[in-house]
Structure 1
């Protein structure tokens, strides 16, 4: 993606189903769990570079001994930093007690991070605030083991104000306005309530307090706690949690917006945000991995029993399509094919834009995430050429000349790597003008391939959010090659609306498609629509949330996709580019053809899967009109 954006976090959960001694005997190490957690996190490092954290819980620890371990980091390579910290602990023990290092029980009794339940989190901060306190996992601590809660998630809630008000009504006083706080405290409240209910029941039966602690751990109803906690949540979420005594869960929102996959055998239960991470870490086939169902929680009790229980009624599945286009790693078998399909589906539009002039066209891509879609375009263009050659040679009535034959057979599309991303280039110059000049050089190009003023350059990007890098860097560099025309192709449709479920795309005025639509409104004498939409958004503040509509759709309604694309091309071309510039976007219907099981498209269509989404888009529009450069919802 040329315009980098922050997005979904990543989770990993490992629940060992055997005693540590089993892994020591079979795999030669009692550190099997922590090693697997490291692999799961490293294979998902794309999901968070603002920070990371891990937590572990040990079973059946004697009172007075620590059983929860946690470490978080904001280092540039946070995952590596965390596991270097953990490794040093084990290395110190190994040097001091070499004869004890193979004793799994001794390690559990004396060394942290040797628990049976292990959790990891990779963080992308969407709030703009970055501190170690914002890094997951979060702890809610208590002297009662079954009241301790460890929580980490990939989520954003759209109704934080409402959730905070509910906490106030419960008598709580949250320390900050963030969805992480509300989620932790909401689950924590009902965990406390469940504990108290169980305590009262067993106390009436005549059990001692010591006996009751064990009975609560055995009978704690995790599904009931989650049903009560999530009753009013509005957002996209995958949340993992561990209760102090060892019960663990992973819950997924009713629309399946955020991803969650799991694998279980007789040794381990593992959950991750991405399927290939599990495949690689545990060497398992794709068919052995399942999705956590929307509206369900995968629950593993301390005794090892595993269930999947509904906590909210599922709604129409709207899994995030951006996971398929860009966010998830392309090593997933299905995602790889979907990205190639997105490229192939663009070929008719591309061929139309170049007037089928393959001979004078160079096809390329904008590194690095558009590469797979580029392969799809390559397949589609080659298929077109083969069909053209076949139809021409087989259907000619008259005899074809040698010259014509040679010309037809010589058609060979040119697929080249024109754009090179210098990822390590730092724009350290402080003056704005100099910094902008430096930004232009984040990308470089390959010289000597494009024919001066004859060739058209087609460059595919996976998506275009703001168009800033295209305008300031990529187009400038491509224009130095002196092409006749530059066509920028997006494998995603036009991004028109903010996300509120985990992607850092919240400020409406930053979207190049929105800028283009507003420009067209004023050019067409329809500037009054801007004020009318603002008034509708204001009125909607008084409506119940389930009656609120997305009024921002009216900004785009007067224009076709092609008209907006043409205006976008004019904006990013500016006055400094000599070549003609055209922008082609993926059609929304083609997105659904390529990604049929991931129909979450609200950033393209404006059709939000939860009522809170409509409130957020309207608030984002009001912020733009009022000149407020803030997000339209709270998160952390």
Structure 2
């Protein structure tokens, strides 16, 4: 999962892009990058780590221009430790293009081979985003003659991108000397919001992964970019859009509402906050069935994403709601120092129980989802250690049993606690008295209700194994998992980035790309 933002304004955008990435920091903490456009010149700075750590005052001063794009990275394809795969990516032909991408391509291997053999383009990293950039650049190049670029050329090129690329992608890109491009895959799996801001000099435009960026940056939410649609905004502020796919169909990722998106965002007309409240309503019915005696003294969320669901569930069951955990918001990355390699890293570094809320009580813990189960196991034990009598764990999402291939870094099937286990066996593994899962139909109904009945179909592959793009086979999943488990997939040796990938794309802000 990643976060992207793009803007065409009438004044310098470096601070706006920085602030926008801070708002999207929850979507990726591995790396961050900004590219600004000043006439025909790009300025770039990117690096590994949090936004606040990547950008210093000297970097910001060098990010000149009234248009730009930004990216925060949570790695889903390629190497998690490679600085070369930080975004945005850059190619110098045609014109000079930089691109940032949220999502994951499912045919990137074929694309890279096709790029090499047919398009004569070199892909230097393992990133599918670099492949996507080169497909876009090639399709624009095929349609241009001389230094002229029209909206039609851009939209025709994106139409060709849709025909060649499979998977999930929300994209922002800059074309040097011309403008900002944004587009979304034909199923709208990953979100992309569009906003406007009226000034005396004219209209400014901003696109971002979540609508909350528009709210906090002073832009008025206009609408979501539709599945298959492309938007082109010239650096002069001329707005153009076109549907670039013959048969788009909105099937958004339901996990955005379960976990990833901020509750104050609205995605495809669905308030994330409302969706989570309705998840709590639906889960309350399941809890009532599973624990008929209702020997529950208190409902406590596992912060932060489950709070809305837990509150609504407690209201529906007429049970007390309490905040039972304190979260340390200042814990960043943890490091295994000499002498600590054998010490288990505990969830207590970030989460600590308030003992009085648990002692002598039958507790219902609410979490947004249960994936590996390792964190859940530690939390349950933590709660027992401070004196809870019984510990029930309820998940606002169904059992996660399949990898997610559209932009969420799900573990392999063998690592998922729900794979091959009954609910009772999962409870035993976690150490809970019972584990209660939301039904998939109830989760879909919650999000449908939050949409006002407008959206009835969602991308739910991690729960049911049904992949909307129709190209995911067992062989594909086996290869994906083999790559994930390979010791060379992310590092050459412990602690070192993959030195086999030469970083040809990194630009510090003091350097100009063209």
In the TM superposition, what is the alpha-carbon distance from 1:182 to its structure 2 partner?
A: 1.6
Contact 1:440 1:476 in 2 (8 A): no
User: CA deviation digits over 1:65-107, x for unaligned, max 9?
Assistant: xx21111122x432454253344x3xxxxxxxxxxxxxxxxxx
Q: Deviations over 1:214-239 (max 9, x none)?
A: xx145771011112233121110011
Report the 3-state secondary structure (helix = DSSP H, G, I; strand = E; otherwise coil) of the residue aligned with 1:293. coil
For residue 9 of structure 1, the aligned residue among 2, 8, 15 is 2
Shift in CA distance, 354/463, structure 1 to aligned 2, threshold 3 Å: same
Asked if residue 137 in structure 1 is aligned to residue 130 in structure 2, the reply is no
Between 1:257-266 and 1:126-135, the stretch displaced more is: 126-135
Q: Which secondary structure state, in structure 2, belongs to the residue aligned with residue 444 of structure 1?
A: strand
Once residues 150 and 220 of structure 1 are traced to their aligned partners in structure 2, the CA distance between those partners, rounded to angstroms, is 19
**How much has 1:623 moved relative to structure 2?**
7.1
Which of 170, 194, 199 does residue 238 from structure 1 map onto? 170
Moved more, 289-298 or 224-233: 224-233
Alpha-carbon spacing, 1:438–1:45, altered in 2? closer, same or farther (3 Å): closer
User: 1:435 Cα deviation (Å)?
Assistant: 2.0
Q: In structure 2, what is the equivalent of residue 73 of structure 1?
A: 47
Residue 237 of structure 2 corresponds to 304
Alignment partner, residue 84 of structure 1 = 57
Counterpart residue number, 1:629: 485
Find the counterpart in structure 2 of residue 542 from structure 1.
none
- 1:274, distance to aligned residue in structure 2 (A): 0.3
Structure 1 gap segments, 5+ residues each: 1-7, 19-29, 62-66, 90-111, 200-212, 383-412, 517-563, 574-579
Deviation readout 1:267-296 (Å, 9 max, x if unpaired): 201100000110121153xxx420001011
1:103-118 equivalences under 5 Å are 112-118=62-68
Note if 1:572 corresponds to 2:430.
yes
C-alpha distance in 1 between matches for 2:125 and 2:226: 31
- Aligned ranges for residues 61-210 of structure 1 at < 5 Å? 67-74=41-48, 76-79=49-52, 81-82=54-55, 84-87=57-60, 89=61, 112-126=62-76, 127-142=78-93, 147-167=95-115, 168-195=117-144, 198-199=145-146
Query: Offset of 1:162 from its aligned partner?
Result: 1.4
> Counterparts of 2:69 and 2:345 in 1: how far apart (Å)?
44
Distance of aligned partners of 1:303 and 1:357 in 2 relative to their CA distance in 1, 3 Å threshold: closer
Question: What's 2:506 paired with?
Answer: none
Structure 2 residue aligned with 1:339, among 270, 276, 279? Answer: 276
Aligned runs of 1:13-52 on 2, under 5 Å?
13-16=6-9, 18=10, 30-31=11-12, 33-52=13-32
1:462 is matched with: 368
1:606 aligned residue: 465
2:384 to 479, 497, 500: 479
Q: Deviations over 1:154-173 (max 9, x none)?
A: 12111112112221123334
Aligned ranges 1:303-322 → 2 under 5 Å = 303-322=236-255
Structure 2: how far apart are the matches of 1:45 and 1:622? 30
Please state if 1:418 is matched with 2:324.
yes
Rounded Cα–Cα distance in structure 1 between residues aligned with 2:65 and 2:359: 63
Q: Counterpart in 1 of 2:154?
A: 222
In structure 1, C-alpha distance between the alignment counterparts of 2:168 and 2:213, rounded to whole Å: 21
Q: Residue 604 and residue 309 in structure 1: after superposition, are their counterparts in 2 closer, same or farther (change >3 A)?
A: same
Look at both structures and tell me which one has the larger radius of gyration over its CA atoms.
Answer: 1
CA contact (8 A) 1:257 1:318 kept: yes
CA contact (8 A) 1:56 1:119 kept: yes
Query: How far apart, CA to CA, are the structure 1 residues paired with 2:483 and 2:128?
Result: 25
For 1:480-499, what aligned pairs fall within 5 Å after superposition?
Answer: 480-499=385-404
Deviation per CA, 1:332-387, whole angstroms, max 9, x where unpaired? 261111111111211122233333436x52211112221121111122123xxxxx
Asked if the contact 2:84–2:125 (Cα under 8 Å) also holds between the matched residues in 1, the reply is no
User: What do the CA deviations read for 1:452-473 (whole angstroms, capped 9, x no partner)?
Assistant: 3xx32100001100001122x1
For 2:253, what is the secondary structure of its paired residue?
Answer: coil
Q: Does residue 620 of structure 1 match 2:503?
A: no
Name the TM-score, length of structure 1 as normaliser.
Answer: 0.69
Contact kept? 1:10, 1:48, Cα under 8 Å: yes
Tell me the TM-score normalized by structure 2: 0.84
The CA distance in 1 between the partners of 2:437 and 2:338, in whole Å, is 35
CA separation in 2, counterparts of 1:352 and 1:451?
26
Q: 2: distance between equivalents of 1:438 and 1:9?
A: 26
Residue 447 of structure 1 is aligned with which of 355, 361, 365? Answer: 355
User: Structure 2: how far apart are the matches of 1:627 and 1:176?
Assistant: 15
Count of aligned pairs: 471
Q: 1:147 to 1:622 in 2, by over 3 A?
A: closer
TM-superposed deviation, 1:434: 5.3
Separation in 2, partners of 1:148, 1:618: 37
Residue 506 of structure 1, CA deviation: 4.4
User: Secondary structure of the residue that 1:282 maps to in structure 2?
Assistant: coil
Asked whether the equivalents of residues 419 and 445 of structure 1 are also in contact (C-alpha less than 8 Å), the reply is yes
The answer to which structure has the higher strand fraction is 2
User: RMSD of the alignment, in Å?
Assistant: 2.8
Distance 2:36 2:349 in 1: 44
**2:406 match: secondary structure:** coil
**Is the Cα contact below 8 Å between 2:264 and 2:273 reproduced in 1?**
yes
- Structure 1 position 480, deviation (Å): 2.0
Q: 2:185 aligns with which of 236, 250, 253?
A: 253
* SS of aligned partner of 2:189: coil
**Residues 427 and 352 from structure 1, CA distance in 2 versus in 1: closer, same or farther, beyond 3 angstroms?**
farther
